[in-house]
Amino acid sequence: MKQLSLEKLNDLFALIGQTEALYLPVDDAAGQAAYRRWQPGYTLSKALNTVRSAKDFFFPQTENLVDFKMQGKSIEVIDPRTEQENFVLFGVRACDARSFSILDKVFLADPVDTYYQSRREHGTIVTLACTRPEETCFCTVFGIDPAEPAGDVSCWIEENTLFMKANTPKGDALLTLAAPLLSEGGDDAVAAQQAATRSVLARLPLAKLSLDGMGGESMLKLFDSDKWAELSQACIGCGTCTFVCPTCQCYDIKDFNTGDGVRRFRCWDSCMYSDFTRMAHGNPRLTQRERFRQRFMHKLVYFPANNHGEYGCVGCGRCLSKCPVSMNIVKVAKALEGEVK
Amino acid sequence: MQEMMIAKARELLKSGAVQRVLGWKAGEFAYDVEPAVFESAQELEKSFVYNDFCGSNLSKYLIAQSRKEGKTLVFLKPCDTYSFSQLLAEHRIVRENVYAIGIPCQGKTDGETLKGKGFTGILSAQCEGDTFTVHTLYGDKTAARADVLPERCLNCKSKKHMIYDELLGEDGEVLDSHRFDMVEKLEKMTPDERFAFWRGELSRCIRCNACRNVCPACTCEKCVFDNDASGIAQKAAADSFEENMFHIIRAFHVAGRCTDCGECSRVCPQNIPLHLLNRKFIKDINELYGAYQAGEDPDAKSPLTDYTMNDAEPGIVYHRGGNQ
């Protein structure tokens, strides 16, 4: 375990920022946390989490895939990518850190998505342990320990000290870079903080959320449940839940007419939208009930059915906080619980 | 009030006067109340609530509910009745299929507002008189109601119901609010300062469309931004100004029809003060065409869809400081 006085936190950021792009949560004009590229004067947000998740760094909301330039009868195919720079993502919470492994299962499976892969390879993830989880948190349901977050480097902030531990070769490299500022020690302080955090975790209202019976075995039973009509009745069909979700991974690919060619880009899509997976005959999901069902079936049934039981949710609580009508995955899971018993 | 509402709803369901009740349903926590339809006394008993977290405006749901067979009972707070009235004026709700009961409101807060005030780990929250007591994972805290209300309620424009079939509790008065203060502040900025303010706010937009979808004035069956054939439907912004443009266009489209219910700002996950765009239009309409409040009188003609000889000429922009 390495440690650093918080008074020197800016020196650490400056040191990392000199060699690599460093991103960290800072408070925005509305007082909420957002990832920003570090620059002198920026301070780490004290918020529990960012509004937008850390998936943005690997799977951005919009990205250009390929350009086609037409000249007469020839078409030039241009890869718009420039070399990916190394970057450090500081202050990622345990839930978001787990979301990367869920996204990996989608984007790094054959055929590998090289756009995503390149960012994953060039990114170093520095996680930060939670000390004040909120009532909307339920990451522990998915076996995540927010007091011992994964990542290339794990950090804890206790009183006036930052404690750091490398978990991977990338993490070792980062701590080697930071070595001039770091000293040894802190195991006891970290263990004490973890014990305190875990006692709060045990008292979280959603700590005992049951997902028994979800997954592939109950697929048709859940798909045909008459609960969906009631669950989706207040849904306004916006994309808030999907866009703040760290694991939502659906995208649309579209062509933009540049005048002398085509720019093919992809952008986040939302199963809540009326044109999601729209084909020549229309949207296969005719009403909000089917669109709403898709989102939760994907996370609680289809994803685990295809991924050895792993759910497509990390319990970050963003959809609980942000849904305009206060509908969310916890209410859905609880309502469906009776269906599979 | 909640007990009175449940009793009234039960009575009307039982007599067959209404077939369903549009209200609010209790959630997991104190604050995550959701709009819901109730069809039986059992459902009402189980989860119907009316408390300090029933902020969502139910009017827009009536577009669909009023097209169902039979009557829908809806509970409307004063500001919701402006939206209901405006939607009626726009022929979007089948009036004879709605039984509207006006209910009083002392301002509604929500989880996000409480959290913004430093209440984290909320386990329960009660309001007695004007004091909120919030029980959290990290201890109990209290706050005065006025300190935990969102901006739209602090600048409440009216406690008076514009339209109803029946009223529970006392009706209030139209209030002398300070809702245009921030607009005035923005008007006093230089164009560059104002541009920087809006760029800063709107740059946070994630284009989730929550503002549009919740808005009682946005009721197009197919929004132009969802229509591939329109040529401007983009889930991805072509440039860094596109999201800004989306909000400006939306504000233009609802101008003269927006009642200033504030739902757009309530639902914005990025806390963009979208209501300020709409209020600028409302203030301008008041100044250019005389005081007008959308949703106040369903028979009144909206200044923007009416013509009089005294209407302002386009050249008015120069008199108001616009560039020649």
Whole-angstrom CA distances from B107 to B156, B191, B266 are 8, 34, 13
- For A266, name the nearest residue in chain B, comparing CA atoms only: B236
CB atoms < 10 A from the CB of A66, how many? 15
Paired tokens of B233: 């439907």
Whether residues A268 and B235 touch (CB distance < 8 A) is answered with: yes
Whether residues B123 and A233 touch (CB distance < 8 A) is answered with: no
Paired tokens of A103: 């996204």
Residues in chain A: 341
CB B279 within 8 A of CB B179: yes
Give B81-119 pLDDT, tens digit per residue: 999 999 999 999 999 999 999 999 999 999 999 999 989
Distance between CA atoms of B79 and B57, rounded to whole angstroms? 8
What's the whole-number average pLDDT of chain B? 93
pLDDT on residue B232? 77
Q: Name chain B contacts of A326, Cβ cutoff 8 Å.
A: 27, 31-34, 111
Q: Is residue A169 part of a domain?
A: yes
Q: Name chain B contacts of A28, Cβ cutoff 8 Å.
A: 204, 270
Q: Three-state DSSP class for B289?
A: helix
Q: Where are the alpha helices (H) located in A20-141, listed in sequence order? A: 94-107, 114-122
**How many domains, chain A?**
2
Domain that holds residue A71: 2-202
Q: Is residue A168 part of a domain?
A: yes
pLDDT band at B324 (very low <50, low <70, confident <90, very high): low
Query: At a CB cut-off of 8 Å and minimum separation 6, what does B115 contact?
Result: A134, A321, B122
Q: Is residue A288 part of a domain?
A: yes
Distance between CA atoms of B253 and B105, rounded to whole angstroms? 29
- Would you list the DSSP string of A176-243? HHHGGG-EE--HHHHHHHHHHHHHHHHT-TTTT---TT-SGGGHHHHHT-THHHHHHTT----SHHHH
Sheet holding A183-184, edge to edge: A33-37, A21-27, A87-92, A123-128, A153-158, A161-166, A2-5, A183-184
C-alpha torsion sign, points B84, B90, B93, B95: positive
Query: At a CB cut-off of 8 Å and minimum separation 6, what does B94 contact?
Result: B66, B67
CB atoms < 10 A from the CB of B10, how many? 18
Strand partners, B142: B133
Distance between CA atoms of A248 and A268, rounded to whole angstroms? 9
Sheet holding B139-144, edge to edge: B122-128, B131-136, B139-144
Distance between CA atoms of A63 and A221, rounded to whole angstroms? 38
Whether residues B271 and A32 touch (CB distance < 8 A) is answered with: yes
Paired tokens of A296: 């939760």
Q: Is residue A207 part of a domain?
A: no
Q: How far is CA A308 from the centre of its chain?
A: 20
Q: Name chain B contacts of A279, Cβ cutoff 8 Å.
A: none
Residue B234 has pLDDT above 80, yes or no: no
Best mutation target among A326, A327, A329 (most B Cβ atoms within 10 Å) is A326
Pair A138, A228 in one domain: no
CB atoms < 10 A from the CB of A112, how many? 10
Q: How far is CA A230 from the centre of its chain?
A: 28
Whether residues A30 and B269 touch (CB distance < 8 A) is answered with: no
Q: Name chain A contacts of B237, Cβ cutoff 8 Å.
A: 62
Residue B157 has pLDDT above 90, yes or no: yes
Distance between CA atoms of B156 and B175, rounded to whole angstroms? 7
Pair A198, A265 in one domain: no
The amino acid that residue B3 corresponds to is E
- Which of A202, A231, A264 is where one domain is finished? A202
CB A142 within 8 A of CB A311: yes
Pair A176, A267 in one domain: no
Whether residues B137 and A327 touch (CB distance < 8 A) is answered with: no
- Which of A202, A233, A263 is where one domain is finished? A202
Query: At a CB cut-off of 8 Å and minimum separation 6, what does B48 contact?
Result: B2, B5, B6, B9, B21, B23, B24, B25, B26, B36, B38
CB atoms < 10 A from the CB of B13, how many? 20
Pair A267, A163 in one domain: no
Pair A80, A146 in one domain: yes
Whether residues B34 and A234 touch (CB distance < 8 A) is answered with: yes
Pair A157, A226 in one domain: no
pLDDT on residue A319? 97
Pair A181, A230 in one domain: no
Pair A69, A190 in one domain: yes
Distance between CA atoms of A293 and A298, rounded to whole angstroms? 8
CB atoms < 10 A from the CB of A340, how many? 15
Whether residues A234 and B36 touch (CB distance < 8 A) is answered with: yes
Sheet holding B98-102, edge to edge: B34-38, B20-25, B72-76, B98-102, B166-167
Q: Name chain A contacts of B56, Cβ cutoff 8 Å.
A: 324-325
Distance between CA atoms of A34 and B110, rounded to whole angstroms? 21
Q: Which residue has the tokens 């305190």?
A: A196
Tell me the shortest Cα–Cα distance from B73 to chain A, in angstroms: 16
Q: Is residue A22 part of a domain?
A: yes
Question: Which of B29, B137, B236 has the CB atom closest to A62's CB atom?
Answer: B236
Give A34-59 pLDDT, tens digit per residue: 999 999 999 999 999 999 999 999 99
The closest of A138, A130, A131, A293 to A222, measured between CA atoms, is A293
| Dihedral angle over CA of B281, B286, B287, B290, nearest 10 | 150
Q: Is residue A282 part of a domain?
A: yes
The closest of A216, A217, A213 to A307, measured between CA atoms, is A216
Largest CA distance in chain A: 71
pLDDT on residue A140? 97
Residue B78 has pLDDT above 80, yes or no: yes
- Which of A202, A232, A258 is where one domain is finished? A202
Distance between CA atoms of A176 and A166, rounded to whole angstroms? 10
Pair A145, A252 in one domain: no
CB A135 within 8 A of CB A321: no
Whether residues B138 and A133 touch (CB distance < 8 A) is answered with: no
Pair A15, A153 in one domain: yes
* CA-derived radius of gyration, chain A: 22
Residues of chain A with pLDDT under 50: none
pLDDT on residue B140? 94
Q: Is residue A210 part of a domain?
A: no
CB A131 within 8 A of CB A155: no
Q: Three-state DSSP class for A54?
A: helix
pLDDT on residue A340? 79
Q: Name chain B contacts of A32, Cβ cutoff 8 Å.
A: 270-271
Pair A58, A175 in one domain: yes
Distance between CA atoms of B300 and B308, rounded to whole angstroms? 14
CA A100, A102, A106 angle in degrees (round to 5)?
A: 105
pLDDT on residue B230? 82
- For A56, name the nearest residue in chain B, comparing CA atoms only: B206
CB A312 within 8 A of CB A304: yes
Query: At a CB cut-off of 8 Å and minimum separation 6, what does B256 contact?
Result: B281, B285, B292, B294, B302, B303, B304, B305
Pair A52, A189 in one domain: yes
Q: Is residue A257 part of a domain?
A: yes
